Amino acid sequence: MSQEAQFVFNTLSFLIWGGLVMWMAAGFTMLESGSVRTKNASVICLKNVGLYSIAGMAFYLIGYNLMYVDVSGWIGSFKLFYGPSEAEIALLGGDESATEAVLENGYSVMSDWFFQMVFVATAASIVSGTLAERINLWAFFIFTLVLTGFIYPVVGAWTWGLGWLSEVGFHDFAGSTIVHSTGGWAALAGAIVLGARLGKFSKDGTARPTPPSSVPVVTLGVFTLWFGWLGFNGGSVLALGSASAATSMSVVLVNTNLAAAGGVIAAIIFVRPILGRFDLVAVLNGAIGGLVAITAAPDMVNHYWAILVGAVGAIVCTAGYRLLWSFRVDDVVGAVPAHLFAGIWGTLAVCITHNDTNLGVQLLGILTVGVFVFSISYVLWKVLDMTIGARVSKGVEQLGQDAAELGIEAYPEFVLMPEPYEDEDE
């Protein structure tokens, strides 16, 4: 294949797969809006379109440079904005002599930026689901700005930016830790600072069920995420200009699909023994747990390992529900078990499928990313809580954010009634 053909295929791969990952924003919106109660569905829609836009702006303004440009080992460049290379600008201006320099890069500069940007939006979406139904919108948007403009890019610089974790051999193919655990740690810190929703836990600590407003929408959201994940992992091959890259991408897509299927089946089998009842939402999250787990190493050639990794990821995710409940941590959509807990498992499971990976190095990556993201996130949530308030008022939470803050109802044919919480510990 000619150099120019390779350039075109590689660039097209980034753009198409990036578009699929962008579509995951729709999946998160459906998953979250269907999971919350009717009175908060519209706010979820606003949060998701807002966070995607903020993520794109922050990554353009400084995030990409911090993550990939002149990384010193710990962090990249603080230079503002990012754009095409000088050779690309010259070529677009009609200078055909710049063609060779453009082709030498292997792909269009901004196609890579677009593919990387949609990943950072995914990390922010994880936080949105956990903190639904009680988070102050402005506090959430400010946190999203810091997460996507600084926290995530620093983690990315250590790893995909060829920083210090990459140098010691840390392996995370498409982001079980870099994307999903980062979002999970940030969400966990926020859930601890905000506390549980009113009435979620009774005085004896029992978690009350909060039925989703639309199970079909949640299910459609999971399928949309599953579909988008093919781009998430497949695009992370970072090439499509050779037979080797195309073969690798095929393996990655098959493993991704098998892991999700294995996660669903494992959740169906184990959800009742773990939770004491059959829970459809937990089964759906089994697919997410399987997808997150396989993301660290979807390039394994023995496909049966993908099924095992995905199945264990779902079991870890399901058990994570009970663990959070025991500490009275309220995660509306189960994002922390699905993205953080399953992400940790998937990062460790790399040692099973890749003999050249060191368990100590994988643990080091998990711990350092966890300490960094959780500590900064916790402090930021605390600061936001003490200044503008991280949580809405009790009255807003009872009535619902849709009517109280937006003046719009997602399902206007229903009558909204504030919910009583007489036995609340307050």
Please check whether residue 228 lies inside any domain of the structure.
Answer: yes
What is the rounded average pLDDT for all residues in the chain? 93
Task: Please check whether residue 18 lies inside any domain of the structure.
Answer: yes
Q: Which residue from 143, 126, 137 is spatially nearest to 40, judged by alpha carbons?
A: 137
Residue 287 has φ and ψ, to the nearest 5°, of -65, -45
Instruction: Give the pLDDT score at 202.
Output: 86
The per-residue pLDDT for 128 is 94
Specify the pLDDT at position 210: 83
CATH code, domain with 195:
1.10.3430.10
Is 412 part of a structural domain of the chain? Answer: no
CA distances from residue 333 to 37, 326, 413 in whole angstroms, order as listed: 11, 17, 25
Predicted model pTM: 0.94
Helix axes 303-326, 342-353, angle to 10 degrees: 150
Cβ atoms of 159 and 350 closer than 8 Å: no
pLDDT band per the 50, 70, 90 thresholds, residue 418: low
C-alpha distances in Å from residue 392, one per residue of 85, 196, 321: 45, 12, 25
Q: What is the number of alpha carbons within 13 Å of residue 179 lying toward its C-beta?
A: 27
Query: What average pLDDT does this structure show over 341-364?
Result: 95
Q: pLDDT for 299-327, tens place per residue?
A: 998 999 999 999 999 999 999 999 999 99
pLDDT computed for residue 426 by the predictor: 44
SS3 of 156, please? helix
Instruction: Provide mean pLDDT across the span 163-184.
Output: 96
- State residue 419's pLDDT score: 64
What Å distances lie between residue 38 and 396, 402, 416, 417, CA to CA?
A: 14, 9, 8, 11
Is residue 425 situated within a structural domain? no
CA distances from 318 to 99, 140, 160, 218, 259 (A): 53, 27, 30, 17, 15
pLDDT at position 87, please? 94
Nearest to 158 by CA among 11, 3, 419, 367: 367
**DSSP code string of 90-146:** HHHTT-GGGHHHHHHTSS-HHHHHHHHHHHHHHHHHHHHHHTTTTB-HHHHHHHHHH
Tokens 């030498």 sit on residue: 104
Confidence category of residue 409, pLDDT binned at 50, 70, 90? confident
Whole-number CA gyration radius for the chain: 21
Domain membership of residue 92 (yes or no) is yes
Confidence band (pLDDT; 50, 70, 90) for 103?
very high
Higher pLDDT, 204 or 28: 28
pLDDT reported for residue 416: 59
Coil/strand/helix, residue 148:
helix
Per-residue pLDDT tens digits for 39-97 = 999 999 999 999 999 999 999 999 999 999 999 989 999 999 999 999 999 999 999 98
SS3 call for 391: strand
Q: CA 82, CA 15: separation in Å to the nearest integer?
A: 17
Domain count, the chain: 1
pLDDT at 261 over 60: yes
pLDDT given at position 209: 81
Q: Please, which pLDDT band fits residue 414 given cuts at 50, 70 and 90?
A: low
Confidence at residue 410, expressed as pLDDT on a 0 to 100 scale:
81
pLDDT band at 171 (very low <50, low <70, confident <90, very high): very high
Can you tell me the distance from the alpha carbon of 287 to that of 292, in angstroms, rounded to the nearest whole number? 9
Residue 423 lies in a domain: no
Instruction: Identify whether the C-beta of residue 284 lies closer than 8 Å to the C-beta of residue 238.
Output: no
Distance CA 41, CA 411 (A): 9
Q: Give all strands (DSSP E) within 172-313, no chain letters.
A: none
Q: What pLDDT sits at residue 276?
A: 87
CA distance 188 to 341: 11
pLDDT confidence tier of residue 417, bands split at 50, 70 and 90: low
201 phi and psi, to 5 degrees?
-120, 135
Q: Which residue has the tokens 């070529």?
A: 91
CB 399 within 8 A of CB 37: no
267 contacts 320 by C-beta, under 8 angstroms: no
What is the Cα–Cα distance from 187 to 208, expressed in whole angstroms? 21
Please report the sign of the dihedral spanned by the C-alpha atoms of residue 317, residue 322, residue 323, residue 329: positive
Report helix, strand or coil for 408.
coil
* pLDDT, mean of residues 128-132: 94
Q: Which of 182-186, 304-308, 403-407 has the lowest mean pLDDT?
A: 403-407
CA atoms within 13 A on the CB side of 125: 31
Distance, CA of 164 to CA of 368 (rounded, Å): 11
199 is a domain residue? yes
What range does the domain containing 132 cover? 3-406
Examine the pLDDT at 329 and tell me if it is beyond 80: yes
Cβ pair 74, 167 in contact under 8 A: no
201-210 pLDDT, tens digit each? 988 888 888 8
